[in-house]
Amino acid sequence: MKPAITIIALLFVHVLCGQQADLTKAIQTAALSIEQKVIAWRHDIHQHPELGNREVRTSALVANHLESLGIQVTRNVGVTGVVGVLKGGKPGPVIALRADMDGLPVAERTDVPFASKVIAEYNGEQTPVMHACGHDTHVAILMGVAEILAGMKKDLAGTVKFIFQPAEEGAPKGEEGGAKLMVAEGALENPKVDVIFGLHINAQLEVGKINYRPGGFFAGVGDMRITVHGKPSHGAEPWSSVDPIVVSAQIINNLQTIVSRNVNITENPAVVTIGAIHGGNRSNIIGEKVEMLGTVRTLSDRDKDLVYGRIRQVVEKTAESAGATAVLELPYTMEYPVTKNDPELTAMMLPTLQKVAGQDKVFLVPAETGAEDFSFFANEVPGLYFYIGGMPIGKDVKTAAPHHTPEFYVDDTSMITGLNALSNLVVDYMKMKK
């Protein structure tokens, strides 16, 4: 009996693998057929960027497209978010796919014909807006994946949730938003999500390549505001003052010792950065107040507690030593946890990424100090988040503009990798969970 059982088992595996190969080929064919449509969506979204919690046009474009595919759609989840549910023809797991939709308050300086000229209000001021982090590509890719998977609905052994998320870069001051709010409003429920996948375009990684990391991939982040209060005086009589600018300079210098002297950087990196400082209005007046804005990034809860505590000590004690006072708000407007890829899920799905891109184009990389609010989803269910390349092949990474800058650029040929990666992750995971 044993040989017969073995033969039957082998035949089953052969049939199953054959079916999977057919789906992989079908995905590849479908992705190629809609590639130009996806690129057109990307150009349109890029030309019409919207800031966090203001993605009205983008979310309407997404929702209308999903509904045209017969996908059940819920609008206005987490302010402007969209959730689509596609039930396959067979029972199986619930898999979520996520794309973020918001642009940034950056003035575009590229020469592409679809460059943004949009002006919008940001924290009470008019500012240019640009997709300077590639979220336009994420939206277009996931719209394309929805079309691919809807076209093979009867072959899907499970359910797919398409999560289009607003305000990944942070909601406007005084508002809630982003992944945290979508989770709170039930984006991972009804039906309950088993796993979630997401990707991010990388302008400094060649098209066709994929970067991944199990465990902590992106840092946890909190922003901070430090307000230093001193004593004003005439600039000609500094001895009559408690100069908040001098105190602020001392605070900035002392903050630099936290990473260099307190954090064990052989285990994890950390970042403490002051990105803005505002104080005074004339050369001959010592003002009363200075305000600083900064960011703090760590890759473990232990390091977060250490760094946050030391920042408070440095800020308050440095000010006290000079006769000034300082108020620290940390977090100030936002805080994201570490983005952690589930190790088991990552190992399970690595062959899929290698199948899509080629084994020689998938790379295990160190953790990054960038942050992502995909972390709120991955804190609730096992998640896998990865990079796809957006830099034109042959371009020198040293000359490629970084994310969040006016010259940021990703190549349209990156779309096909994203389409194939997310679609195959869905069907392969369903196969493994039969």
As annotated, the active-site residues are: 102, 168
Q: Output the CA torsion sign for 401, 404, 408, 411.
A: positive
The tokens for 244 are 């908040």
Q: What angle do CA 424, 429, 433 make, to 5 degrees?
A: 155
Note whether 424 and 21 are within 8 A (CB).
Answer: no
Coil/strand/helix, residue 352: helix
The tokens for 179 are 């992944």
Q: Output the CA torsion sign for 310, 316, 320, 323.
A: positive
DSSP 3-state percent helix, strand, coil across the chain (nearest 5):
40, 30, 30
Look at residues 127, 184, 125 and name the one whose alpha carbon lies nearest to residue 373: 184
Cα–Cα dist 377/220, whole Å: 14
Note whether 406 and 229 are within 8 A (CB).
Answer: no
Look at residues 200, 211, 163, 152 and name the one whose alpha carbon lies nearest to residue 431: 152
DSSP label at residue 171: P
Q: Who's near 64: CB < 8 A, 6+ residues apart?
A: none
Note whether 328 and 312 are within 8 A (CB).
Answer: yes
Q: Which helix (H) or strand (E) holds 340?
A: strand 339-341
